[in-house]
Structure 1
Amino acid sequence: MGKLKLMLVMLIASVLMLAACGKDDDEKSTGSAGDGDAGYDLVKKGKFTYAASGVYKPFSFEENGELTGFDIEIGKALAEKMDLEPNPVTNPFETILQGLVGKKFDAIIGSMAYTKERAKQADFTEPYYYSGGMVFVAKDNDEIKNPDDLKGKKIGVVAQSTYEPPAKELTDDVQYYTSDVVALKDLTVKGRLDGVITSDVVGFEAIDNGFEVKEVGKPMWVEQASIAVHKDNPELTNALDEALKAIIDDGTYKEISDKWFGRDLLDIDLEGVELLE
């Protein structure tokens, strides 16, 4: 009888252990309220994994072997508000949306502008900054005074960016790059490029860092850089919107923006401005 009781106890213990393991597996895949996951799907339990190109200084770039920049710090601040560990990763911009759709990461915080076309593949939060699409040329180039002067010329853009379509409207001679910084640098090499279309923020930052380039005219449009999230994860989108509002309200956002740009990138007069959609 003693052996029978012992076997029965061992059997019950085994069943309870299997049930506990099953529960752990469920929590790893879906998250649970109170452990920082708040019920939304995450690629890694307890971590907020967000992607940027890593070659878009000052928004995301590597320094001393670590990812840093405005986008990276915004992601860290949002993760903190959501009680998650920040886990920034890199992915080439031209395939970053496909990476999100394939659930390689939880979100894109990589200066991706909201567009109706992109919204077919991902959900977007409220904008976390505004920037304008602007033409830049070499500092000694006095021939190109407005975007129309680039018709038929060689224009540099990042592939799959919002700057590609207007470049194609102006010319058939489009040079593709994986980094706006490299494209702007090529403007200073005689005969390589006639112009580059990129963010005004990035162009002005390049000028501040000694690039011999200059802007042409005013921004052609203003785009809304937003956080892209997988369409199957609306809870995470809502949580990010709440966290974004929180870091704006408590001054964290302005502190990060002032650090990298000396101004608040959300402080812009949008009246009468064409928003890219």
Structure 2
Amino acid sequence: MGNWKTLLFLLMAAVLVLAACSEDKGEASDNEYGLTEKGKFTYAASGVYKPFSFEENGELTGFDIEIGTEIAKRMGLEANPVTNPFETILQGLVANKYDAIIGSMAYTKKRAEQAAFTQPYYYSGGMIWIAKDNDEIKTPEDLKGKKIGVVSQSTYEEPAKTLSDDIQYYASDVVALKDLTIEGRLDAVITADIVGFEAIENGFAIKEVGNPLWVEQPSIAVKKDNEKLRDAIDQALQEMIDDGTYEEISQKWFKRNLLDIDLEDAELLE
């Protein structure tokens, strides 16, 4: 009888040890990516950049949000999208408020000093937009002395400053483009070609000036020292591209593949 008790005790001890090891392994797995919240992939977008990220019926939706949701699923994590104003979104990442930025942030060398970036998850062109009835502005040079609207801390801010000294800052491209249609508010807006064409489809009386000034490489940003998370996101993104899931999401929101672009003669923004 004593032997049975001893054996039972040893079995119970073994179970407890295995459970502890399993728990430790789970915690290590969760902490492998340095997540801000256990079991969740928390990623930020502005929430005011339709059709990339916006609120509908009280919930975040859009292209960026769906890309993040699919990446989280492939990493075995719960998707947890949050919003942060674009002008401080990079600072929020550095401060560990979230794990990643999936908010249409283009890669630049300057931003890479503060964050690690994945491969591009789409391409877009920086384009000048004016009111549909504006016949005065036909080239970038015509913007000298004109009031240009841009989103603060965006990649459009510095180019705008080279074209005019009169810059109006916004938190949302959509609001800037809306002001463009109101007489006396703005002369031009510099933003992504995708956003402008989407605005036209939604009834905005605007038009583009010439061709895109450059091609941007919106990428997913994580903390600079978190290469494990960056690599895991890259792997999930590549899997999405390879199996057609990316194509489905892109076609849903834009009726085209945002990665399908000829970069041979393009000037890439860096």
Give the TM-score taking structure 1 as reference length: 0.88
User: Which amino acid letter does the alignment assign opposite residue 216 of structure 2?
Assistant: E
User: Deviation at 1:170?
Assistant: 1.0
* Distance in 2 separating the partners of 1:39 and 1:118: 24
> In the TM superposition, what are the counterparts of 1:129-208 in structure 2 within 5 Å?
129-208=122-201
User: Deviation at 1:232?
Assistant: 2.4
User: Which amino acid letter does the alignment assign opposite residue 95 of structure 2?
Assistant: G
241, 247, 250: which one aligns with 1:254: 247
Q: Say whether the 8 Å CA contact 2:31–2:38 is kept in structure 1.
A: no
* Distance in 1 separating the partners of 2:139 and 2:125: 15
User: Which amino acid letter does the alignment assign opposite residue 171 of structure 2?
Assistant: T
* Distance in 1 separating the partners of 2:219 and 2:265: 21
Matching of residue 220 in structure 1 with residue 213 in structure 2? yes
* Distance in 1 separating the partners of 2:144 and 2:76: 50
Partner of 1:88: 81
Q: Say whether the 8 Å CA contact 2:100–2:222 is kept in structure 1.
A: yes
Deviations 1:227-259 (A, max 9, x none): 000012110000000000000011110000000
Instruction: Pick closer, same or farther for the CA change 1:194–1:242 going to 2, 3 Å.
Output: same
SS of 2:28's partner is coil
SS of 1:175's partner is strand
User: Which amino acid letter does the alignment assign opposite residue 272 of structure 1?
Assistant: D
State percent identity of aligned pairs: 74
Task: Give unmatched runs, 5+ long, in structure 1.
Answer: 1-12
Matching of residue 68 in structure 1 with residue 61 in structure 2? yes
Deviations 1:190-214 (A, max 9, x none): 0100000000000000001100000
Matching of residue 125 in structure 1 with residue 118 in structure 2? yes
Matching of residue 115 in structure 1 with residue 115 in structure 2? no
User: Deviation at 1:32?
Assistant: 2.5
Partner of 1:102: 95
Aligned residues: 256
Structure 1's consecutive aligned runs of 4 or more residues displaced over 3 angstroms after TM superposition are none
Matching of residue 276 in structure 1 with residue 269 in structure 2? yes
SS of 2:219's partner is strand
User: Deviation at 1:27?
Assistant: 7.3
User: Deviation at 1:225?
Assistant: 0.3
User: Which amino acid letter does the alignment assign opposite residue 273 of structure 1?
Assistant: A
Deviations 1:62-101 (A, max 9, x none): 0000000000000001111111100000000000000000
User: Which amino acid letter does the alignment assign opposite residue 139 of structure 2?
Assistant: N
User: Which amino acid letter does the alignment assign opposite residue 55 of structure 2?
Assistant: E
* Distance in 1 separating the partners of 2:33 and 2:221: 15
* Distance in 1 separating the partners of 2:247 and 2:144: 39
Task: Give unmatched runs, 5+ long, in structure 2.
Answer: 1-12
User: Which amino acid letter does the alignment assign opposite residue 223 of structure 2?
Assistant: H
User: Deviation at 1:152?
Assistant: 1.0
User: Which amino acid letter does the alignment assign opposite residue 267 of structure 2?
Assistant: E
